[in-house]
Chain A
């Protein structure tokens, strides 16, 4: 069928919007002025910061454990983990409870991480996730599954299974 030029543009726009709606959703948070995202499907819940119980002889980024409705869940400070300068916790500090699948032993675990602040839930198109170029970031490259553009700001999408693999912590 013959379309007018206007109709064609509309059609293309529609297509783009539809494409943009596809992809995965990520919960984004900020850490030392950088934006990170984690797969929303892995997020169990969000909590405000509360004092946790110290666990001896653990890596320094493990702040302790908390009680999550009867389960004992470790709390990891991502600033420490990423070797960023440590700051005091504020009322904005959030603890994100995540379900991870340990890459080393395959077990499912509940782990929580402390971040500065929560931002939005964004959709990131698969096609936008490019292979990460090597650059001087706080993180080990292997922890990042990709990059995405969130309204002009660069978002680093975290591979939490690799990053929070407890078996890694065994080395301590």
Chain B
């Protein structure tokens, strides 16, 4: 029967990539000294599974490569070998290599043969440095068997199963039947040992056989038949004919006995020579983006939709024959509808929520490799990996986070000797924290390194013409210079921090997600980069405001507070326009009426309207509106799909009454009024 193995490939690849992640995490823990025996077993099992699966599904070179990793890991778990830091490095690099091979196999790409060879040799090196029983197992590929002149042989076979034979689940009859397939079988059963009936235990075996097998049969074939039962029986096999050669030959026996061909992972051979056609998958179309969703979440959804349908049909019935006596029922029904719709909405959004561990998981390895490269000692601590955020957000936050962490490693944490000289522990710490706060997700990257030198930054900002000399800047404004596109020069974008990704791109990415980034630092002690992101991109918590007959929505995430303005606090500043003094701060005022040319704005004097204090880019402004309406959650609709992007507007939404309201883009508003 020909079975199409390809149907299992996808599952195999998925579990293999997971297995590689498991191996990587385990190896990193081993390196830190955090691993116990169980962890070592877990790493071994992952390699073992990959090896077995790849062999079964036809990815021979992957199997061969993994085999040598598995051999090494087997020795470690058996206690024969200690794994040094160097050994772990080799294994980690091998995991990378395997990932590359696995990706090539799953996507139909090319394998970097030289990388495979380098890693294979490195593994081999470690294995070869100590002789161990494991290496003996890896034998040269069997030389093609010289066909043994299968002459007609008569074999005398005596088969005496031990008393406990049956308890291994073996059946003597099966063995005899199998022998009979090899040639002409004759013989007799010996019942001498069978006890009296009353003493007979039916679970024991008392029979034995004297058999004669005639045919073109080799001893090996007969051995194979008995291979499972050697230990629980007495067997003797003698040839009665002189034609028999006693030389055992490694020969593929017939298919009834499962014994795979001699190991194809020879120590000396190069398994990566050429990627065999069987290892390559047809280049498939890129996998469509997908999410894994727990069955329980789906079940919840189905239940909720069910409830919704019930409520809907109840309302429908009410509506058919409506009169005012049924008003209360209608209202109840509508409340129920509201509740069910809300629950359904939350549930569906939940599905797209993914724990941030997916993004965080790459960092232990990254920090380790990077700190090794720079000869620094750095420990990475992560909290809140279970904090969930929307899948679309998670995909876009990865790169900015990578850059910030790299930045901390590269520019934050000092060299070990400098740290000691400063009275700090030699090993620096970088912390990744994620948590929910007020409808947002906050991600903090903290390091106990040398902090940011405000004077240096300011001086550089002046030098680059980003700031006027003598300008008074707040701390946050100085730190924000770091995110200015003109700040860093090409020469400073080191290989470590990545070319082409500057802090300005980091900030841009975060802002395009509707988020913000804040910096805190103490010179000599360390820095915290704090990223605030909305939980989801499709839905927004907003404050509805009115200017004239226009309604606008201001995202709550940008709002600091709302004030009833007082005339005395209004100032006119030459060249800057109106400002409002709120406690100690002077807030520039943005009049929506003017910015958007609203023809029927009500309030002219400041005291007639309201000031909504908003914040973006570290700057605060007061947005002057006629009235505050309610707060609500709105679904963000695109203005650009059918129309175009409008400055100051980030999108639109449809209100409960079916009308359209525009969502204000606060950072853009601020830029517009600057």
Contacts and interface: CB of A to CB of B under 8 A. Distances in A.
B659 A53 contact: yes
B642 A111 contact: yes
Interface in A58-77: 58, 62, 64-67, 70-74
Interface string A109-125: 11100000000000000
B643 interface: yes
Contact of B654 (A56, A62, A70): A70
A53 B642 contact: no
Contacts of A74: 642-643
Nearest to B548: A54
Given A65-B643, A70-B637, A72-B639, A56 B648 contact: yes
A56 B649 contact: yes
A170 B647 CA distance: 11
A57 B642 contact: no
Interface residues of B, number: 24
B643 A166 contact: yes
Contact of B646 (A52, A58, A167): A58
B644 to A, nearest CB: 5
Nearest to B658: A67
Interface in B643-663: 643-644, 646-649, 652, 654, 658-662
A169 interface: yes
Contacts of A11: none
A70 B636 CA distance: 10
Contact of A71 (B551, B641, B648): B641
A55 B659 contact: no
B288 interface: no
A167 B641 CA distance: 12
Contacts of B652: 53, 65, 72
A56 B643 contact: no
Which range contains the number of A residues in contact with the other chain?
A: 20 to 34
B649 A72 contact: no
A109 B550 CA distance: 25
B597 interface: yes
A100 B597 CA distance: 29
Nearest to B651: A72
Contact of B644 (A52, A67, A70, A170): A170
Interface in B608-667: 637-639, 641-644, 646-649, 652, 654, 658-662
Given A56-B595, A56-B596, A169-B643, 7 more contacts: A54-B550, A54-B598, A56-B662, A57-B646, A65-B643, A67-B658, A72-B637
20 contacts: A51-B659, A53-B550, A53-B661, A54-B550, A55-B646, A56-B597, A56-B648, A58-B646, A65-B652, A66-B660, A67-B658, A71-B637, A71-B642, A72-B638, A72-B643, A73-B642, A73-B643, A74-B642, A166-B644, A169-B644
Interface of B: 550-551, 595-598, 637-639, 641-644, 646-649, 652, 654, 658-662
